[in-house]
């Protein structure tokens, strides 16, 4: 999970009646680079993506926030379904649109870990199932590809070529890339 920036609502009039309005959904999807706000998986190549309520809109929870722009994000079905209507106001899930998840979470190999003492990090990982087997497998594939490229880069004796390749590989941890938190951790460990 990485820090995201929610843009201004492009169509506030439509938001009043339809939080899933296509124009508004596209803005949220763009803000997350087409990735799930929780697990960083690219969403649209396998699913339409959900407009997710950070605080659940359920009748007995936060129905007054159903059409509140600051309560919406772009999410994959797996994280959305895992989360359901779970939300504890005393220990809320991390909202990557309004805070920096790196204060609570770290990438450790292919596993998402919470920082020591961060209950919010722990509850976010558990509630959205950020270490489900399929995610770990996809992260492992991504990191293996990146590690192979790093190995090849460091095997070359041409310093100029090595610098060009390293620069290109550093771009793989850009926020637009799938699992960028994990890629950035691998790149940092190899410096």
**Structural domain span for residue 180:** 135-189
* Residue 129 pLDDT exceeds 90: yes
Residue 115, in any domain of the structure: no
* Residue 166 pLDDT exceeds 90: no
Residue 9, in any domain of the structure: no
How many distinct structural domains can be found in the chain? 1
Residue 79, in any domain of the structure: no
- pLDDT grade, residue 128 (50/70/90)? very high
Average pLDDT of 141-155? 90
Answer yes or no: are the C-beta atoms of 146 and 186 closer than 8 Å.
yes
Helix or strand run (H / E) with residue 24: helix 22-31
d(CA 18, CA 8): 16
At 34-88, the pLDDT tens digits run: 999 999 999 987 788 999 999 998 888 899 999 999 999 999 999 999 998 888 8
Query: Of 56, 20, 79, nearest to 9 (Cα)?
Result: 20
Residue 177, in any domain of the structure: yes
Q: Between 162 and 140, whose confidence is greater?
A: 140
Residue 20, in any domain of the structure: no
Q: What is the mean pLDDT of the chain?
A: 93
Residue 162, in any domain of the structure: yes
d(CA 165, CA 143): 16
Residue 71, in any domain of the structure: no
Residue 164, in any domain of the structure: yes
Average pLDDT of 117-125? 97
Ranges 15-19, 119-123, 138-142, 169-173: which has the least confidence:
169-173
């Amino acid at each position: 999970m990485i820090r995201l920036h929610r843009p201004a609502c492009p169509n506030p009039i439509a938001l009043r009646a339809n939080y899933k309005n296509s124009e508004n959904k596209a803005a949220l999807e763009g803000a997350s680079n087409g990735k799930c706000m929780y697990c960083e998986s690219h969403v649209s190549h396998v699913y339409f993506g959900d407009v997710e309520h950070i605080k659940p809109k359920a009748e007995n929870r936060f129905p007054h926030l159903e059409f509140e722009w600051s309560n919406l994000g772009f999410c994959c079905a797996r994280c959305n379904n895992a989360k359901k209507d779970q939300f504890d106001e005393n220990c809320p899930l991390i909202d990557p649109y309004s805070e920096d998840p790196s204060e609570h979470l770290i990438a450790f190999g292919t596993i998402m870990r919470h920082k020591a003492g961060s209950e919010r990090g722990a509850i976010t990982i558990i509630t959205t199932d950020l270490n489900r087997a399929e995610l770990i497998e996809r992260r492992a594939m991504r990191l293996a590809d990146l590690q192979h490229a790093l190995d090849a880069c460091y095997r070359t004796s041409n310093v100029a070529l090595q610098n060009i390749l390293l620069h290109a590989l550093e771009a793989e941890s850009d926020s637009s890339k799938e699992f960028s938190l994990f890629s950035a951790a691998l790149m940092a460990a190899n410096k």
